[in-house]
Amino acid sequence: MRLQVNRKQIMSKLLDHSCKDIRKPQSDGWSSEDDDDDVFSTKGQEMASSQTGPPIVSEEELASLALITPAKASQYSGSRVKALIQILQHQLDQYELVKEFMALEHLKPSDNCLVGKAPENRDKNRYRDILPYDKTRVVVGENQDYINASYIRMQVGDEEFFYISCQGPLPSTVQTFWQMIWENRSDVVSMMTQEVERGRIKCHKYWPEKLGVPLDVGRYQLHLENQQYLEYFHIKIIRMVESEINVSNIVKEMRLQRHGMIQTKEQYLFCYKVWLEVLQGILELHSSQWQPEDPRDHKVV
Q: Are residues 182 and 255 in the same domain?
A: no
- In the chain, the number of structural domains is 2
**DSSP track, 8-66:** EEEEEEE--TT--EEEEE-S-----TT--SEEEE-SS--PPPSBSSS-S--HHHHHHS-
What pLDDT score does 24 carry?
A: 39
Q: Are residues 215 and 252 in the same domain?
A: no
Q: Are residues 281 and 201 in the same domain?
A: no
Q: Are residues 27 and 99 in the same domain?
A: yes
- 150 with 133: CB under 8 angstroms? yes
Range with top average pLDDT, 4-13, 147-156, 253-262:
147-156
What pLDDT score does 285 carry?
A: 65
Last residue of a domain, one of 242, 273, 295: 242
Residue 161 belongs to some domain of the structure: yes
pLDDT classification of 297: cutoffs 50, 70, 90: very low
Residue 299 belongs to some domain of the structure: no
Q: Are residues 161 and 202 in the same domain?
A: yes
Q: Does the pLDDT at position 44 exceed 60?
A: no
**DSSP track, 153-193:** EEEETTEEEEEEEEPPPPTTTHHHHHHHHHHTT--EEEEEE
Higher pLDDT, 42 or 102: 102
Q: Are residues 139 and 23 in the same domain?
A: yes
Tell me which amino acid residue 21 is: D
pLDDT digits (tens, 9 = 90+) for 90-144: 999 988 899 889 888 888 888 999 999 999 999 999 999 999 999 999 999 988 9
Last residue of a domain, one of 225, 242, 259: 242
Range of the domain at 263: 248-286
Higher pLDDT, 67 or 282: 67
Give the mean pLDDT of the chain: 78
Q: Give CA–CA dist 95/93, Å, rounded.
A: 6
pLDDT digits (tens, 9 = 90+) for 268-296: 888 888 878 877 776 676 566 544 444 33
Give percent of the chain above pLDDT 90: 35
Q: Are residues 232 and 173 in the same domain?
A: yes
What pLDDT score does 254 carry?
A: 84
Helices (H), 56-149: 59-64, 79-93, 96-105, 114-117
Phi, psi torsion values for 266, nearest 5 degrees = -65, -40
